[in-house]
Amino acid sequence: TVPTITLNDGTRIPQLGLGVWKMEDGAVSGIIRSALGAGYRHIDTAAAYGNEAGVGRGIAECDLPREEIFVTSKLWNDKQGYDAALRGFDETMGKLGLDRLDLYLIHWPMPHQGLYVETWKALIRLREEGRVRAIGVSNFLPDHLERLIEETGEAPAINQIELHPRFQQAAQREVHRKLGIATECWSPLGQGEALAHPDLKRIGARYAKSPAQVILRWQMQLGCVSIPKSANHERLRENISIFDFELTEEEMAQIKELDAGEGRIGPDPATARF
Ligand code: A2P
C-alpha cells in the first residue's frame, strides 16, 4: 500500500496518486477503475482538465467506500475572487458528484489579477464549512506563499509545482519546508521526457526497476507527493510498484546532478517560461 504524508492541518494524503491531465472525459473513468484496481487511492484532477464528470463517474462506479479515495481538484484562473471561487467550487462538486472534496487548490496565482488572497479566503471558508478537508495552491512562488500567510495567517497545506529530475526546484522545496507546506510534483516524469537518461537506467537496473520507477522513488524519498499520469494499465502498475526498494544516498546524489533548471516557472500559465 501507498504510504501517506500528514499535511500541516493533520490531513493524510497518499504520497502517490494518479494525475489525469489531458485524459478525455469519456476515457478517464475506465482509467480510474484500472488505477483503483492497481492500488491507487488518490486522484488529481482540475476544473481546467474538463474531465471532472468522468472522474466522478469512475469513483461512483467503483466499489470502494468514498472515504478510501483521496480526491483533489483545482480552481481555474477565471474563477478567482471570493464569490467566484465559491461558485467555482460548487461547479466542480456538481461535476464530480461528490459532497466533500479532499483537497482543493488554486491552480495558478495570476498575480496581475490581484485576486489570489481573496480566493484563498474563500478556500479557508470552504474548509471551515467542512466541504473540503485540506486546501492548498499550485504554481505559487515564494512571494505569493508569503503574502497568503501574512494576510490570512494560514499557510497552504500543499503547493503543487512542476518537479522532475530536469527541474528539481531545490530552492522552492526549501521554502516549503520552512513554511510547513508539502511539495507535490506535477509532470513528475517530465511528461515522459525525463525517462531516457542513462544514469536512471543504470540505477534502475540494480533493482530491476525502470527509469520511471527510479524517478518516482526519488520523489518519495525527497518527501514529495507525486501524481504520475498514465492511461496504460501496465504502466499504472509499474508506477505504483515503488515501495519495495530504496535508493541509497549516493544514488539520490547522482539524481541531483541531473537538474538542468528546465521547467515551467512563473506566476501565470500564459507567461510561464518553459
Ligand atoms: P502513457 O499514458 O502512455 O503511459 P507526466 O506524469 O510527467 O506528465 O508523464 C506522463 C507521460 O509519461 C504520459 O505520456 C505517459 O504515457 C508516460 N508514462 C507514464 N508512466 C510511464 C512509465 N512508467 N514509463 C514510460 N512512460 C510513462
Of 49, 82, 116, 207, catalytic: 49
* β-pairing verdict for 182-186 and 70-75: unpaired
C-alpha cell at 63: 466499489
* Residue with cell string 510547513: 180
Predicted pLDDT at 129: 98
User: What ipTM did this prediction achieve?
Assistant: 0.97
pLDDT in tens, 133-189: 999 999 999 999 999 999 999 999 999 999 999 999 999 999 999 999 999 999 999
For residue 274, name the pLDDT band (cuts at 50, 70, 90). very low
pLDDT at 272: 57
- In tens, the pLDDT along 41-68 reads 999 999 999 999 999 999 999 999 999 9
- The predicted pLDDT at position 192 comes to 78
104 is catalytic: no
Give the model's pLDDT for residue 267.
53
Cα 48 to Cα 52: distance, rounded to the nearest angstrom: 9
What number does the ligand 1 atom closest to the CA of 235 have? 23
Ligand 1 mutation pick, 235, 240, 264, max ligand atoms within 8 A of CB? 235
* pLDDT given for residue 237 in this prediction: 98
Q: What is the pLDDT of residues 11-36, one digit of tens each?
A: 999 999 999 999 999 999 999 999 99
Return the ∠ at Cα 65 (arms to 62 and 69), rounded to 5°.
80
How far apart CA 31 and CA 37 sit, in angstroms, is: 10
Whole-number Å distance between alpha carbons of 158 and 142: 13
Instruction: For CA atoms 59, 35, 6, 145, give the dihedral sign.
Output: negative
**Among 22, 217, 230, residue to substitute to test ligand 1 (most atoms within 8 Å of Cβ):** 230
What share of the chain in percent tops pLDDT 70? 96
| CATH code of domain 4-256 | 3.20.20.100
Q: How confident is the model at residue 273 (pLDDT cuts 50, 70, 90)?
A: very low
- For residue 144, say whether it is annotated as part of any ligand binding site: no
Burial of residue 271 (number of CB atoms within 10 Å: 0-12, 13-18, 19+):
exposed
